[in-house]
Chains A and B, each alone.
Chain A
Amino acid sequence: KAGVTQTPRYLIKTRGQQVTLSCSPISGHRSVSWYQQTPGQGLQFLFEYFSETQRNKGNFPGRFSGRQFSNSRSEMNVSTLELGDSALYLCASSWGQAAYEQYFGPGTRLTVT
């Protein structure tokens, strides 16, 4: 069974632009979570979706948004990019509503210049 995939793997954007990252969960998984990883703040939770509904959101500004489609694929969008948004963005999936194991994708490395 294929793992979690994320596209693109690397991205360079300019301050003020917006960006969309994509995540395809493991087949059959219905929950997708997003995390931001930076050297200074470590791993921080962005949001979690289950069956197209956002169930939980981390402490990030409204510039960070996401959605989930009927096939469980998820996208996250960051508008008006700032230098501090440079990070590794990780997506994780789990199979059910109460499932506790999350399986991670390889991440998208976003650099904002």
Chain B
Amino acid sequence: AQTVTQSQPEMSVQEAETVTLSCTYDTSESDYYLFWYKQPPSRQMILVIRQEAYKQQNATENRFSVNFQKAAKSFSLKISDSQLGDAAMYFCAYRSAYPGGTSYGKLTFGQGTILTVHP
């Protein structure tokens, strides 16, 4: 079974500065997808960024970028120019790419990191 670990229960950042959230995962599969989701106080889960394991290039989405280290099974999220609206719980998630497997179609989540943005 796959596991996802977020070792930072809480992080804080000053507005306009950069912060990096950590995520490690464990899997025996070679093909999979990784995601970062944001959950603000409204509880609406919002997809922030995705990474395909077969792609070596790190994904970027505006102010959000990832550092994907496949061999180390590490997937960190960097938020640049932090804004007050970035304050939320952030979840790292894994999804298998193998059809028919026991973990196919489901997301396995880490425990989350609460990000506070100070003005």
Are A and B associated in one complex? yes
A interface residues with partner B (beta carbon < 8 Å): 31, 33, 35, 42-43, 45, 48, 50, 55-56, 58, 88, 90, 92, 97-98, 100-107, 109
Cβ of A35: which chain B residues have Cβ within 8 Å of it? 107
On chain B, the number of residues with a Cβ less than 8 Å from chain A's Cβ atoms is: 25
Q: Could you tell me the distance between the alpha carbons of A45 and B102 in the complex, rounded to whole angstroms? A: 12
Interface SS of chain A: helix, strand, loop or mixed?
strand
B97 within 8 A of A: yes
**A56 adjacent to B104 (CB under 8 Å):** yes
Q: Could you tell me the distance between the alpha carbons of A101 and B111 in the complex, rounded to whole angstroms? A: 20
Cβ of B56: which chain A residues have Cβ within 8 Å of it? none
**A100 adjacent to B106 (CB under 8 Å):** no
**A50 adjacent to B105 (CB under 8 Å):** yes
Q: Could you tell me the distance between the alpha carbons of A106 and B104 in the complex, rounded to whole angstroms? A: 23
Which of B47, B97, B104 interacts with A101 by CB under 8 Å?
A: B47
B45 within 8 A of A: yes
Interface SS of chain B: helix, strand, loop or mixed?
loop
Cβ of B82: which chain A residues have Cβ within 8 Å of it? none
**B106 adjacent to A106 (CB under 8 Å):** no
**B111 adjacent to A55 (CB under 8 Å):** no
**B42 adjacent to A43 (CB under 8 Å):** no
Q: Could you tell me the distance between the alpha carbons of A109 and B109 in the complex, rounded to whole angstroms? A: 19
Q: Kindly provide the distance from the CB of A74 to the nearest chain B CB, expressed in whole angstroms.
A: 13
**A43 adjacent to B91 (CB under 8 Å):** yes
**A31 adjacent to B47 (CB under 8 Å):** no
Cβ of A58: which chain B residues have Cβ within 8 Å of it? 106
Cβ of B95: which chain A residues have Cβ within 8 Å of it? 100, 102
Given A98-B99, A100-B95, A106-B44: A55 touches B50 (CB 8 Å cut-off): no
* Residue among B44, B91, B110 with the highest chain A CB neighbour number at 10 A: B44
**B47 adjacent to A103 (CB under 8 Å):** yes
